[in-house]
Structure 1
Amino acid sequence: MVKRQTLTLITGADKGIGFETAMALGKRGQHLLVGARNQARGEQAINKLHTAGVSAELVILDVTQAGTIATAAKQIEASHGYLNVLINNAGIALDAHQPPSQLPVMTMRQDFDVNFFGLVSVTQAMIPLLKKGAPAKIINVSSNMGSLGLASDPDSRFFQVNSLGYQASKAAVNFATIDFAKELRPDHISVNSVNPGWTRTDFGGNRSGEQTVAEGAAQIVKLAADDSPDLNMTFTETAGNCHGDVKRFFPVPDFAISALTLASLAAISYP
């Protein structure tokens, strides 16, 4: 039986870490579905990928618009009939580091609409395709800024950070990873979170950062290209590590999550 080409959908893949991930996975032989809100920017990304010899096609996808999500799922079903990898990369950070008492609720809603509700909406829409492509995987791009333990630790560099909308949305992403991982494990679909770290992209409106885009994408690429079915319900990162090695890896125990386990997740699993 001829093995099907690995089919990977990446949201927000027309620039930054999403585009770098698409380029790296394409060079490893995967066929990329480049999710992009804007047709022109998406086509520019596709042209760059094709020039580099990468197999890719454009999927117009706005994670905040149910209609485009449904259309994208129908497009993939009609063209391919399955999906192997979903990388939920699209994200925003609209907070201006105001104290929580001054942060507009609408700003927080916008953070959640993209980072959490958009991620969940895309995941739900793609699950039938992922089941047809199983063993399959979902990779959620998260952040250690969603860590309850770091945010409450006076010795942490995140203790002084004010970014309630973004931080809370990424904490929600980590719980989405846990809950989807538990539900989808019998279907041979793994779900993991990755923190790319502070990367030099235009994310958040600036190009400051501690590492290159390739370094930020390294762990996402590693998980997406790994054939091991055992990696599930984890949070990993490469933040600041130019070699692309896993800096932290804490799998959640394979049993019912108790209050103690939840406390451990907050204080230990996402340092």
Structure 2
Amino acid sequence: MVDTSSNNLPLRGKHALVTGATRGIGLETCRQLAALGAYVIVAARDLARAEAVAQALRDDGREALALKLDVTSEADRAAVFRELDSRFGKLDILINNAGIWLDSADAATPPDRPIDEVPESVVRRTFEVNFFAPLLLTQTLLPLLKQAPAARVVNVSSIRGSLAHLSDPASPVYPVKALGYDTSKAALNAFTILLAEQLRGSPIKINAIHPGWVRTEMGSKHADLGLEDGARTAIRYATLGEDGPTGGFFFQDERLPW
């Protein structure tokens, strides 16, 4: 549970951008960041929905800004950079939350086709959102992250991106082979490692996280975690102290195998 008392606002003065911020884990992450005092940038494809979320946060006494951001759009990414640079000149927290699952109806439903029959379009579309979008958005916003005293980047990945889990018959994710989703999250994990190594020695920390199996449209009603718990790991790694890890893969305080 996030402490929303006025005396416990560790993120006051910090600007935090969340992608895919109008529903599910993204929306809950915005709420928890705002409760900790952050100025939240609500980024989503649908500007009207983003405005509604930002207004609700402002009505609750928080600071928030809505921005249109289709994460697959180069023009949108560039426009977000210009807006943030003009308004704030920095970005303290980037949470790459937006993601899609196209392998079946939802994460509780077996994939529609075996691996050797998955259409190219499914894999390509999944990679565009789950891998290329966070890669390119982070590259675009990195100059602003470098202007912050100690920026944090959180890539919302999945245990399904763990090669160790995908190849372990004892793993809970082993029975389901979701080619598009699994490989896109494995690629996101690799990007996390590589950028963290490039930035090692700087005050910026970047980590990948598994939010858990969360009851969202993607996760399905059968998932075992609610939204508050689903956002908890992202919040933990968005608020790391100076001695916190970088270049890791985590679920809450547990380090996961790559």
TM-score, normalised by the number of residues in structure 1: 0.85
Distance 1:154 1:222 in 2: 30
- 100, 111, 131: which one pairs with 1:92? 100
Q: Please list the CA deviations of residues 8-38 of structure 1 after superposition, one character each: whole Å capped at 9, or x if unmatched.
A: 1111111111111111111111111111110
Give the length in aligned residue pairs: 241
Name the residue aligned to 1:264.
none
Q: Secondary structure at the match of 2:25?
A: helix
C-alpha RMSD of matched pairs (Å): 1.6
Q: Is the 1:95–1:165 Cα contact (8 Å) retained in structure 2?
A: yes
Matched, 1:212 2:210: no
Matched, 1:202 2:210: no
Matched, 1:158 2:173: yes
- 1:36-55 correspondence to structure 2 within 5 Å: 36-55=44-63
Q: Secondary structure at the match of 2:115?
A: coil
| Runs of at least 5 residues in structure 2 that lack an aligned partner in the other structure | 1-10, 105-110
Distance 2:141 2:233 in 1: 22
Q: Please list the CA deviations of residues 55-93 of structure 1 after superposition, one character each: whole Å capped at 9, or x if unmatched.
A: 110111111000000000000000000011111001001
- Offset, 1:134: 3.0
Name the residue aligned to 1:176.
191
Distance 2:218 2:56 in 1: 20
Q: Is the 1:201–1:208 Cα contact (8 Å) retained in structure 2?
A: no
Distance 1:159 1:222 in 2: 27
- Offset, 1:53: 2.2
Evaluate the alpha carbon distance shift between residue 77 and residue 162 of structure 1 in structure 2; reply closer, same or farther with a 3 A threshold: same
Matched, 1:191 2:206: yes
Decide which moves more: 3-12 or 59-68.
3-12
Distance 2:12 2:29 in 1: 20
Name the residue aligned to 1:62.
70
Name the residue aligned to 1:254.
none
Name the residue aligned to 1:24.
32
Q: Secondary structure at the match of 1:10?
A: strand
Decide which moves more: 67-76 or 187-196.
187-196
TM-score, normalised by the number of residues in structure 2: 0.89
Distance 1:76 1:208 in 2: 38
Between the aligned residues of both structures, percent identity stands at 37
Distance 1:53 1:17 in 2: 21
- Offset, 1:220: 0.8
| Runs of at least 5 residues in structure 1 that lack an aligned partner in the other structure | 239-245, 251-268
- Offset, 1:188: 1.9
- 131, 146, 154: which one pairs with 1:139? 154
Q: Is the 1:174–1:193 Cα contact (8 Å) retained in structure 2?
A: yes
Name the residue aligned to 1:249.
255
Q: Secondary structure at the match of 2:27?
A: helix
Q: Secondary structure at the match of 1:196?
A: coil
Distance 2:186 2:156 in 1: 11
- Offset, 1:145: 0.4
Name the residue aligned to 1:255.
none
Distance 1:4 1:153 in 2: 43
Q: Is the 1:15–1:45 Cα contact (8 Å) retained in structure 2?
A: no
